[in-house]
């Protein structure tokens, strides 16, 4: 692991200067899970929760989260995203909502934070929409699973 890039040589926080980097095609994919009760999972699947269609609302929230990442993460660059895809699926056997987000752009810095934020915001939206009937909801396993482009090259999680 290298030095922490968001600190200067005196330990002060800084936004990384990417102006000398070449713009390249970059993408990142993140995943996460929301574990709910079997009853909650059935209501999500049937779209019978009082707040509406959990999957659709969480999908839109995830896309919005990716677009707002620099407003939430202090030293994150504002990026002109070319594409954001957020997919949610119900795993009935595990009573889980699985979330995958992929962000793409042509730019000077990666989109890992945008993909991770999309998953986190989608997961929090599932929680918010279901909390009135299930206080034991758990958000788990949010992680980067793949990235491509940039100087550091490609990454694929095990």
Catalytic residue list: 128
List Cα–Cα distances, 158 to 100, 132, 142, 153, in angstroms.
16, 36, 14, 16
Report which DSSP code applies to 7: B
Handedness of CA 76, 57, 93, 35 (dihedral sign): positive
The two three-digit tokens of residue 95, written as one number: 């009573």
């Amino acid at each position: 692991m290298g030095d922490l890039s968001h600190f200067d040589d005196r330990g002060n926080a800084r936004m990384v200067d990417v102006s000398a980097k070449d713009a390249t095609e970059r993408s990142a994919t993140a995943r996460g899970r929301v574990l709910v009760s079997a009853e909650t999972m059935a209501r999500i699947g049937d779209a019978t929760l009082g707040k509406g269609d959990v999957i659709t609302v969480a999908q839109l929230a995830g896309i919005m989260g990716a677009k707002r990442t620099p407003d939430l993460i202090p030293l994150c660059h504002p990026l002109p995203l070319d594409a954001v895809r957020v997919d949610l699926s119900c795993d009935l056997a595990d009573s889980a909502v699985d979330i995958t987000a992929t962000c793409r752009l042509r730019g000077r810095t990666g989109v890992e934070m945008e993909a991770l934020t999309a998953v986190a915001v989608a997961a929090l939206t599932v929680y918010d929409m279901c909390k009135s009937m299930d206080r034991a909801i758990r958000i788990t396993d949010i992680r980067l699973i793949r990235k491509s482009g940039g100087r550091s090259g490609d990454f694929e999680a095990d």
